[in-house]
Amino acid sequence: MSGSQKSIFITGAASGLGREVARYFANVGWFIGLADVNEKGLDETAALLLPGQFSRHKLDVTDRAQWKKAVAEFAKRTDGHMTVLFNNAGIGSGGPIQDMTDADIDKMIAVNLTGVISGTRACFDLLKNTPDACVLYTSSAAGIYGSAGLSVYSATKFAVRALAEAHDIEWRPYGIKARSLMPGFIDTNIIAAVDSGSNMSGKDKLQSAGVEVSPVAIIGPAAWEAIHGNKVHTPVNKMAKQLAFAARWFPNRLRKQLGLLGGLGDVVKPG
């Protein structure tokens, strides 16, 4: 990596949003740190990049020791710098909270919140050492207004939104920005699963209900806009933008409309 080359460390890089952001930033010449627990998926993402353009790190974000090891390995490739931490790894599962298992709840909080906090702490020194650094969090449209049938997932994404707001203020003395992406439904594996006893995927169910599902290619430009812009939060697609507007100006109307739509937990699968 050249001294002037910018770099991004991406968790959840084995699929979905992480893979697409890796591809997008690699195409504009950045050095990419690919991190995920899914080694097969990491191989597939790495195949999209040029040799020497990336480093590859097996990382379970719930393991602080693995965070320390991965960040140290990345630092060796970037002379101790990290322009952006894309703190993206997350899982989703839905259903009424009373039907969720303790294990599902604990795992979602561990990955979506505790793992995100661990990543922010692990990468702080590298970000502090890098001009115009930024930590980019993946929140969600479910972090704009509480989503029935996705209550625990939604709660974790509200928490991630809070981290971005707090750290954008807390880290100003160090020259580090904090930003969040708030996508609506994106065409990734999190909505691709087909229920047993059904021939419809989560994507099919959403579209049949008139809910927008955006192509994953939308996320690269959105991430670029977020880290280079002045807004803390970036709603990513039309659905998220409409939800953010309604939550601010017409919360009672939004609450009624979401009640008519019902829960969306049956279309979100672990992933």
What's the pLDDT score for residue 200? 39
Tokens of 31: 């050095």
User: Which of 38, 33, 46 minimizes the C-alpha distance to 76?
Assistant: 33
End-to-end CA distance of the chain: 32
**Cβ–Cβ < 8 Å for 143, 154:** yes
- Number of Cβ atoms within 10 Å of the Cβ of 114: 16
pLDDT tier at 257, thresholds 50, 70, 90: low
Range picked from 4-8, 146-150, 188-192 for highest mean pLDDT = 4-8
CA dihedral 111, 115, 120, 122 (to 10 degrees): -140
Tell me how far apart the alpha carbons of residues 209 and 112 are, in angstroms, rounded to a whole number: 27
What's the pLDDT score for residue 270? 35
Tell me the whole-structure pTM to 2 decimals. Answer: 0.86
Range picked from 71-85, 87-101, 181-195 for highest mean pLDDT = 71-85
**Cβ–Cβ < 8 Å for 257, 145:** no
CATH number of 7-267: 3.40.50.720
What's the pLDDT score for residue 189? 56
What's the pLDDT score for residue 141? 85
pLDDT over 70 at 185, yes or no: yes
Tell me which amino acid residue 204 is: D
User: Which of 219, 221, 179 minimizes the C-alpha distance to 84?
Assistant: 179
Tell me how far apart the alpha carbons of residues 168 and 187 are, in angstroms, rounded to a whole number: 29
What's the pLDDT score for residue 204? 39
Between 270 and 237, the higher pLDDT residue: 237
pLDDT tier at 255, thresholds 50, 70, 90: low
- CA atoms within 13 A of residue 244's CA, in its CB half-sphere: 19
Between 270 and 229, the higher pLDDT residue: 229
Tell me how far apart the alpha carbons of residues 80 and 125 are, in angstroms, rounded to a whole number: 9
- Number of Cβ atoms within 10 Å of the Cβ of 214: 18
The answer for residues whose C-beta is within 8 angstroms of residue 168's C-beta and 6 or more apart is 177, 178, 179, 232
pLDDT tier at 169, thresholds 50, 70, 90: very high
The residues spanned by each domain of the chain are 7-267
The pLDDT tens digits for 17-58 are 999 999 999 999 999 999 999 999 999 999 999 999 999 999
